[in-house]
Amino acid sequence: MRSYSNPEAVLLDMDGTLVDSDGAVERAWAAWAVEYGVAPAHALADMHGSPAHLTVARLRPDLDAAGVEAAAQRQLDLQYEDLADVVPTPGAVALLAALDRIGLPWAVVTSADDRLAKARLAAAGIVPPLLFTFEDVERGKPDPEGYLLAARALGVDPAACLVVEDSEPGLAAGRAAGAMTASLRGLDADVRLRDLGHLAELLVPDGR
């Protein structure tokens, strides 16, 4: 029987999970909030886990579809070049090394677009075997489409996959896909992780 310590594949979120981009994300949303008349604290409280256009629509429900698209693009533009302090999250390098040693398939599933995802992963020195971004799906998190797509590409039953997330929308997407879930930031999941090094210890308890 598969469990979070014995999955057939690991599906990882990017921002806040595999890559520490919190500083860049917060700077971009704070600047965007000032431009768009939103309280920065409100924007920062609502920025995690969803594609930019869904967050924009929540923060500025008065905007029409074209306005949301333009505002979301402006938000992304603020993030593209801000890579100064983008690094792997604690334990990420150890986890990816462990996955490689035991031959466990993995992929990244992110709400970022292709350009931003590739830029941040490159800045952190991470090269995923498979990357699925917002541009690969019709519906972003909390919809399960991205995780179902990744499981299918790896040839693994979603129920045998472990989804690793740091946001409620991402965890909701994992649950809706039927996957097992592991969380950071103290969120509720099948297993709560201190960091990704903790997951490496669960997957490879003897350190082999």
Catalytic positions, written as ranges = 13, 15
Q: At residue 50, what are phi and psi to the nearest 5 degrees?
A: -105, 155
Q: Count CB-CB contacts under 10 A for residue 94.
A: 18
The set of long-range contacts for 23-30, using a CB threshold of 8 Å and a minimum separation of 24, is: 23/84, 23/85, 24/79, 24/82, 24/83, 24/84, 24/85, 24/86, 24/120, 25/79, 27/78, 27/82, 28/75, 28/78, 28/79, 28/82, 29/75
Q: Please report, as a single letter, which amino acid is at residue 46.
A: D
Q: Please report, as a single letter, which amino acid is at residue 122.
A: A
Sign for the CA dihedral angle at 46, 49, 50, 51 comes to positive
Structure tokens at 205: 């308890």
- Distance between CA atoms of 137 and 147, rounded to whole angstroms? 10
